[in-house]
């Protein structure tokens, strides 16, 4: 194989890896992506394995279904401003821990969170306990609890399954952004329950991190699955013998973004009361650090 052949192969492998990672972070199965992009599952499988010689038109279809630009699926070759180049060069020489520190400094420097605001956002996968804990905050602290999915459905005038059926993932993402802006404009003080995949949208995640105290509510993969099923929702298992491995892959893709939260609450093996007590402690601790969030 020639040097050019190796280069082409590496290029296709990188495209496939980008598609697979973005699909997982969106929480989309290959079947869902095939439906939204009008590209066959078999072709997508080959593409993700680096074996697809994809055309520009098909790449555009896949990108649209993933609610991103085609260029985002390609290996980076874009030009940056001098400032972006200098920042990128400086940051890439830092360790991951140092990069996390630098990012937190940027959030603190440019945060829009005001001292009189009490906004808390709970992020994480379904089954971690976001809804239960958010409702308890409303009941016991009189802090308005806003499920972002309810705002999305209100704006659309239809349910999430109907939104996905008529508008696909891209339509849902647009509504999610609109719902977030509306919620932040309406409430200075509230607890927001964000959808598990919101972290895959850099713009929305940045907005949350600079306008609210973001807490990642997490649990073990098995507990995520068990709790969702215990609620009577069998969809994660329906016709999917690889449901657990799919869940683990989604978590692996999203965890680096979930970890950007200001604090982490692990509900694994805990009762609701234990988790609520931990949540209140986290909020008080963060309030002492930044003075922006207080409870009774």
Query: Tens of pLDDT along 32-72?
Result: 888 888 888 888 888 888 876 767 677 878 888 887 777 77
Per-residue pLDDT, averaged over 171-183, amounts to: 92
The pLDDT confidence band at residue 232, using thresholds 50, 70 and 90, is: low
pLDDT of residue 249: 85
Per-residue pLDDT, averaged over 230-248, amounts to: 68
pLDDT of residue 114: 53
Give phi and psi for 215, each to the nearest 5: -120, 125
Q: Rounded CA gap, 128 and 231, in Å?
A: 12
Q: Please, what are the domains in the chain?
A: 3-73 (1.10.260.40), 111-290 (3.40.50.300)
Cβ atoms of 145 and 194 within 8 Å: the answer is no
CA dihedral for 114, 119, 125, 129, sign (positive or negative): positive
Helical (H) or strand (E) element with 222: helix 221-230
Is 113's pLDDT higher than 60?
no
Q: Rounded CA gap, 258 and 177, in Å?
A: 18
pLDDT of residue 68: 79
- What's the full length of the chain, in residues? 296
Q: Which residue has the higher pLDDT, 182 or 104?
A: 182
Cβ atoms of 251 and 268 within 8 Å: the answer is no
pLDDT of residue 11: 77
Mean pLDDT of the chain: 83
Listed in sequence order, the residues at least 6 apart from 6 whose beta carbon sits closer than 8 Å to its beta carbon are none
Is 252's pLDDT higher than 70?
yes
- Provide the whole-model pTM: 0.72
Give phi and psi for 265, each to the nearest 5: -120, 115
The pLDDT confidence band at residue 121, using thresholds 50, 70 and 90, is: very high
Give phi and psi for 218, each to the nearest 5: -125, 165
The pLDDT confidence band at residue 12, using thresholds 50, 70 and 90, is: confident
pLDDT of residue 44: 86
pLDDT of residue 58: 79
Strand partners, 119: 190
Is 155's pLDDT higher than 90?
yes
Lowest mean pLDDT across 42-56, 91-105, 158-172 = 42-56
Q: Rounded CA gap, 59 and 61, in Å?
A: 5
Per-residue pLDDT tens over the stretch 18-29: 888 888 877 788
pLDDT of residue 66: 82
pLDDT of residue 130: 95
Cβ atoms of 286 and 104 within 8 Å: the answer is no
Which two three-digit tokens encode residue 258?
Answer: 């979930």
pLDDT of residue 246: 82
The pLDDT confidence band at residue 296, using thresholds 50, 70 and 90, is: low
pLDDT of residue 234: 56
pLDDT of residue 22: 81
Share of the chain above pLDDT 90, in %: 32
Cβ atoms of 33 and 23 within 8 Å: the answer is yes
Q: Rounded CA gap, 76 and 258, in Å?
A: 24
């Amino acid at each position: 194989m020639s040097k050019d052949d190796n280069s082409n192969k590496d290029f296709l492998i990188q495209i496939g890896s980008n598609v697979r990672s973005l699909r997982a972070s969106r929480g989309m199965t290959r079947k869902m992506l095939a439906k939204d992009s009008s590209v066959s599952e078999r072709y997508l499988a080959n593409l993700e394995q680096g074996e697809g010689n994809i055309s520009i038109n098909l790449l555009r279809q896949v990108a649209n279904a993933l609610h991103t630009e085609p260029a985002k699926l390609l290996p980076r070759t874009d030009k940056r401003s001098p400032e972006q180049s200098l920042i990128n060069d400086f940051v890439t020489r830092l360790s991951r821990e140092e990069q996390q520190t630098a990012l937190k400094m940027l959030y603190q420097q440019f945060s829009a969170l005001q001292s009189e605001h009490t906004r808390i956002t709970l992020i994480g996968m379904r089954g971690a306990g976001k809804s239960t804990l958010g409702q308890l905050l409303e009941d016991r602290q009189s802090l308005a609890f806003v499920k972002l999915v309810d705002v999305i459905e209100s704006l659309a005038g239809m349910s999430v399954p109907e939104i996905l059926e008529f508008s696909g993932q891209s339509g849902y993402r647009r509504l999610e952004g609109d719902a977030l802006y509306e919620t932040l404009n309406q409430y200075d003080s509230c607890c927001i329950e964000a959808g598990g995949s919101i972290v895959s949208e850099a713009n929305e995640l940045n907005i949350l991190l600079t306008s609210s105290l973001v807490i990642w509510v997490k649990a073990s993969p098995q507990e995520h699955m068990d709790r969702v099923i215990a609620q009577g929702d069998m969809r994660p298992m329906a016709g999917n013998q690889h449901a657990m491995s799919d869940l683990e892959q989604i978590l692996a893709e999203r965890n680096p973004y979930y970890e950007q939260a200001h604090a982490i609450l692990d509900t694994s093996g805990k009762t609701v009361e234990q988790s609520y007590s931990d949540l209140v402690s986290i909020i008080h601790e963060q309030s002492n650090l930044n003075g922006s969030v207080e409870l009774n």
